[in-house]
Amino acid sequence: MLYSDVAVLVPCHNEVRTVADVVTAFSRALPGVRVVVCDNNSTDGTAQAARAAGATVITERHRGKGYAVRRLFSDVDADYYVMVDGDGTYDAAAAPEMVRLMRDEGVDTVLGQRRAHSSSGAAEYRSGHQLGNLVFSRTFSKLFDTQYGDVLTGYRGFSRRFVKSCPLLARGFDVEIELNAHGASLGMPLAEIETVYRERPHGSESKLNTYRDGFRIFRRLFRLFRDFKPAATFGALGMMMAAIGASVVAPVLVQYSRTGLVPRFPTLFVVIGLFLGALFLILTGAILERASRDRLERNRLSYLAQPAPRQVRCGTDDRADDPTIAPGRRRRALVATIERPADLADGPLHQGQQASC
């Protein structure tokens, strides 16, 4: 099977020891694929090694994985995408299954759920990374009402309509959280497959800082939740403020009911301020919810403007004369066929082309 409609995206920064092996492995696993490496301002010859291995190389001067992924999404055109880190830790043998799920089952995004190569996993996963991934996966699933097993994996498959409707803003390693939020917010079809996660080759160093980047990812996660569900976010803050105000004003009301006097006017003023603040937060959430809904609708329209991975295409066919129809007239019958984007034309369906009913 040829994979000329697939692009492998490899964001890289200083991965000269591993990038050539990654390019070669995916070229073998997906015959006919185009491997595109985004050199994220490397200083060790990563770009030259990638070109020598047969990859197309583009350069992104702004440092950060988010910038590199954003550039790849903008500049690379394909029907299906596989994104993988250039550190040699992911198994290229899982890529054909990712593509199959998108082609045959119409999945918009496939996540490679990491499974340690060794029995203990200590060589592949640092303890902080294991704990962080578990916390982030469960927190994300709870906030966005999904079931993600590995939200921080760097091994993913995307359909064209996912990539071309994704307005990435992340700059660093929090890009994975934003990709997850984009798919979850639009209710895109999702699949996860297990894939072997290997230890980095000797001499290759991780660019991820456990605590600094972990804090940034957590901050990004809650900012995305605020942006996608502002009514819930600001409403919860408003209810908390109102509850504090109620607990503070209760003794004042009890004393007023007994004596008819309000001896603690400063407390009463604070309570009034708390209730006004709570009302302001709730109203702010309601207004932002409308704006968020408008933004999601625009994203949805952008998503629907691209062809589905597994498309139902309508056409017509002439049938023989029907005895119930007057002689000389023919009935045009509507028929539906299920096709992949690459089947709709002589080549892959690119932006600007549309299938019509």
Residues 262 and 335 in one domain: no
- Answer yes or no: do 29 and 140 share one domain: yes
Given pLDDT bands bounded at 50, 70 and 90, which one contains residue 195?
very high
Q: State how many domains the chain has.
A: 3
Question: How many Cα atoms sit within 13 Å of 183 on the Cβ side?
Answer: 27
For residues 185 and 240, membership in a common domain is answered with no
pLDDT for residue 313: 65
Taking only the tens place, the pLDDT of each residue in 216-240 is: 888 888 888 998 899 999 999 999 9
- Both 129 and 271 in one domain: the answer is no
Whether 148 and 265 share a structural domain? no
Rounded to an integer, what distance in angstroms lies between the CA atom of residue 263 and that of residue 335? Answer: 81
| Residue 56 to residue 19: CA distance in whole angstroms | 12
> Residue 20 pLDDT more than 60?
yes
97-145 per-position pLDDT tens digit? 999 999 999 999 999 998 876 554 444 556 666 777 888 888 898 888 8
Res 352 pLDDT > 50: no
Whether 56 and 72 have beta carbons less than 8 Å apart is answered as no
Range of the domain at 165: 6-228
Task: Specify if 240 maps to a domain.
Answer: yes
Q: Do 273 and 220 share a domain, yes or no?
A: no
Over 60: is that where the pLDDT of 164 sits? yes
Q: What is the pTM of this model?
A: 0.76
Q: Which residues contact 322 (CB under 8 A, 6 or more apart)?
A: 331
Q: Is the pLDDT of residue 309 over 90?
A: no
Strand partners, 34: 7
Average pLDDT over residues 267-276: 88
Residues 222 and 240 in one domain: no
Integer CA distances (angstroms), 85 to 21, 79, 90, 155, 250, in order: 12, 20, 8, 7, 57
- 41-64 average pLDDT score: 93
| CATH code for position 191 | 3.90.550.10
- Cα 207 from chain centroid? 21
Mean pLDDT of 43-64: 93
Residues ≥6 apart with Cβ < 8 Å to 305: 161, 165
299 and 315 in a single domain? The answer is no
- 206 within a domain of the structure (yes/no): yes
> In Å, what is the CA distance from 150 to each residue of 23, 114, 132, 137, 213?
24, 7, 11, 6, 17
Region 73-94 average pLDDT: 94
Q: Are residues 234 and 141 in the same domain?
A: no
**CA dihedral (303, 355, 75, 38) positive or negative:** positive
What's residue 345's pLDDT?
43
Confidence of residue 353 (pLDDT cuts 50, 70, 90): very low
